[in-house]
Every structure is written in C-alpha cells, then in structure tokens.
Amino acid sequence: MQDLFGNEIKPGKLVNGKLKKRKSEAAHETLIAVHGKVEGKKCRQCVFFYYVTYSKSYPKCLQSGCTGHTPNHDWSGRWQACGKFEEKQSKK
C-alpha cells in the first residue's frame, strides 16, 4: 500500500510516529522466526488454532502464548502456518 506521495506504508497503527503491532502479530513473527514456515498451510488448518466464544467468537493459538481475553491477542486464521503446525484430523 502506498501513501499519496508513492511511499510504501506498512500495515499497523502509528503511535507517536512508530509502527505498533498487536501482541498476536509479534508472537506470530516470533514463531515464524524460531520454527520456520510451512508452505501452503494456514493457521486455521492447525490443531492449535481454536476459538473462544462469548457473545462472539475470538480466534486464538495455543502455541503463541497469546490466549488472553482481549482483541490484542486475537489470531488470524489466514496467517501462514509456523513450524509447529500439526494438521487437523478430519471429522468423520
């Protein structure tokens, strides 16, 4: 994504001129850095990906350590799976 002047904009929130990421995004980057990536797989296909349900459903990852009850800890099922990926068993 680019601004009006053609400069590249990184996704995230700017706080005092610095890019601020959610804790879950930072945790995902750490998992990828430590354990590597699994090509062609997404987090939602992993056994460690689950939902906490109250009035809405909130996605979480057991491997991340970000399982708090805040949107700051919400995981994205679209993120690329890390090296700790384990395929979900199909329901029969």
Q: What integer pLDDT is reported at residue 14 of this predicted model?
A: 55
Nearest to 26 by CA among 53, 62, 83, 66: 66
Residue 28 covered by a domain: yes
% pLDDT > 70, the chain = 79
Residue 41 covered by a domain: yes
Residue 17 covered by a domain: no
Q: What integer pLDDT is reported at residue 43 of this predicted model?
A: 96
Q: Please tell me the pTM assigned to this model.
A: 0.73
Query: Domain count of the chain?
Result: 1
- Per-residue pLDDT tens over the stretch 34-66: 999 999 999 999 999 999 998 888 999 999 888
Residue 91 covered by a domain: no
Residue 64 covered by a domain: yes
What average pLDDT does range 58-87 have in this prediction?
90
Residue 7 covered by a domain: no
Domain enclosing residue 30, as ranges: 22-82
Q: What integer pLDDT is reported at residue 90 of this predicted model?
A: 76
What is the distance between the alpha carbons of residues 16 and 25, in angstroms, rounded to a whole number? 19
Residue 5 covered by a domain: no
Residue 10 covered by a domain: no
Q: What integer pLDDT is reported at residue 19 of this predicted model?
A: 62
As a whole number of angstroms, the longest Cα–Cα distance in the chain is 54
